[in-house]
């Protein structure tokens, strides 16, 4: 089939949405499908299989916010012959996000009678956190209603990475034509023997990964480590980048061992996931949590927030694998438990390796491909293609 994938945010492989986009693109190509990607990434200009459209300029107040988060958005598409041509000649259009490009691609697809699928990769709080109102249920519900009215109500099939996010969205807008499919974990993420670097051999390494931002709550982890009975033995590694980096560095001054905060390549991350001693995912807002799943796949025992607004709470196999959301004292207790019970931690590692087998990315991407075929067939039956 000829697939057009509209990516409001593509960029580097440094966030969950971009990784999900690249994984889907690469998988469909590997299955022999003709894939055209529409995005605003100027570095992709001239590359085969890419159509480049204009970036969205939000002005001097909002552009810096996007830049700090390492993303750029796409401008609404008008009078673009190449854009129209690839959609007109496609069998299906898949939109990654409900923003300007996704809306433009969906409208154009409907104009030519093409079926549309779309990912649900953005929680309302991912938007409202930037404006300091992520705890307003009224505003968050309004964001979902806007998503629905402007975009998702016109989509023939919605891809939800978790049942959690499907329920959250449908509680606001009603039942949808959705498919729950994990984004999955790539096969190169696997358990392997890996020794700690020399400078970390005498430390208990706690790893956390993800964008350094308000809703990810890394500050709670820093506070918990400062309260731990084993503070002096703990080395915190924060793998990621984001607008809260300097703030987290300031908060970390109370730690005996300054945290390592940096971006790691995929190869470096695999090693890190295999030599770290504990993984902590303190996020209050989390749509799926692939970074946490990658830790589980490698047998790295996780401790996750029990936040009602995070899907990762469902990854807790025991009470010691979760802590009360935003409660540094409770998190400190869980950290101390795993430090003081190495045999239980080893047994838990084996449990997580078995548990995470169902998130194999090839199987998940196969389900995505089937979703697209299913939507194409359903729209043919309705006579819209």
Successive 10-residue mean pLDDT values, the chain, 385 residues = 93 76 94 96 89 82 64 81 96 96 96 96 88 90 96 97 95 96 90 93 95 89 97 96 90 94 91 97 92 93 96 94 97 98 96 90 94 94 59
Quote the tokens at residue 101.
């490009």
Phi, psi at 28, each rounded to 5°: -60, -40
Residue 312 CA to residue 259 CA, distance in Å, equals 24
Q: What is the CATH number of domain 2-184+360-381?
A: 3.40.50.2000
Q: Given this structure, which CATH class describes domain 198-358?
A: alpha beta
**Is beta strand 234-239 parallel, antiparallel or unpaired with respect to 260-262?**
parallel
What pLDDT shows up at residue 385? Answer: 42
Residue 299 CA to residue 279 CA, distance in Å, equals 10
Sheet architecture: strand order including 178-180: 50-52, 34-39, 2-6, 92-95, 116-119, 157-160, 178-180
What pLDDT shows up at residue 72? Answer: 66
Q: Where are the beta strands (DSSP E) in 98-167?
A: 116-119, 157-160
* Residue carrying the six token digits 């309302």: 124
According to DSSP, the residues that pair with 92 across neighbouring strands are 3
Identical topology for domains 2-184+360-381 and 198-358: yes
Query: CB neighbours of 164 closer than 8 A, spacing ≥ 6?
Result: 287, 311, 314
What pLDDT shows up at residue 186? Answer: 87
Domain range annotation of the chain:
2-184+360-381, 198-358
Residue 372 CA to residue 141 CA, distance in Å, equals 28
């Amino acid at each position: 089939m000829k697939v057009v994938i509209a990516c409001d945010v593509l960029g580097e492989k440094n966030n969950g949405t971009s990784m999900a986009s690249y994984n889907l693109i690469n998988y469909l190509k590997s299955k022999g499908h003709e894939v055209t990607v529409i995005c605003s990434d100027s570095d992709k200009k001239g590359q085969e299989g890419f159509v480049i459209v204009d970036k969205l300029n939000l002005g001097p107040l909002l552009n810096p916010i996007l830049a700090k988060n390492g993303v750029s958005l796409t401008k609404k598409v008008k009078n673009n012959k190449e854009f129209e041509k690839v959609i007109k000649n496609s069998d299906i259009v898949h939109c990654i996000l409900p923003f300007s490009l996704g809306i433009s691609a969906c409208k154009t697809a409907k104009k030519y009678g093409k079926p549309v699928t779309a990912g649900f990769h953005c929680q309302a709080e991912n938007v409202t956190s930037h404006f300091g109102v992520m705890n307003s249920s009224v505003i968050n519900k309004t964001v979902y209603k806007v998503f629905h009215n402007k975009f998702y109500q016109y989509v023939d099939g919605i891809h939800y990475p978790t049942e959690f996010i499907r329920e959250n969205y449908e509680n606001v807008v009603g039942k949808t034509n959705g498919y729950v499919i994990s984004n999955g974990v790539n096969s190169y993420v696997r358990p392997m023997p890996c020794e700690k670097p020399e400078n970390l051999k005498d430390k208990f390494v706690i790893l956390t990964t993800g964008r350094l931002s308000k809703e990810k709550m890394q500050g709670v982890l820093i506070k918990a480590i400062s309260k731990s009975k084993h503070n002096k033995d703990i080395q915190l590694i924060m793998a990621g980048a984001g607008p809260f980096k300097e703030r987290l560095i300031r908060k970390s001054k109370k730690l005996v061992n300054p945290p390592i905060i940096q971006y790691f390549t995929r190869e470096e991350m695999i090693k890190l996931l295999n030599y770290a001693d504990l993984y902590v995912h303190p996020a209050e807002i989390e749509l799926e949590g692939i970074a946490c799943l990658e830790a589980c796949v490698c047998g790295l025992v996780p401790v996750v927030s029990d936040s009602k607004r995070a899907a990762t709470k469902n990854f807790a196999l025991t009470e010691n694998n979760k802590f009360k959301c935003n409660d540094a004292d409770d998190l400190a207790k869980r950290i101390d438990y795993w430090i003081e019970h190495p045999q239980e931690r080893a047994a838990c590692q084996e449990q997580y390796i078995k548990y995470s087998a169902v998130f194999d990315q090839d199987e998940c991407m196969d389900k995505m491909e089937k979703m697209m075929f299913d939507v194409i067939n359903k729209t043919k039956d309705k006579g819209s293609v």
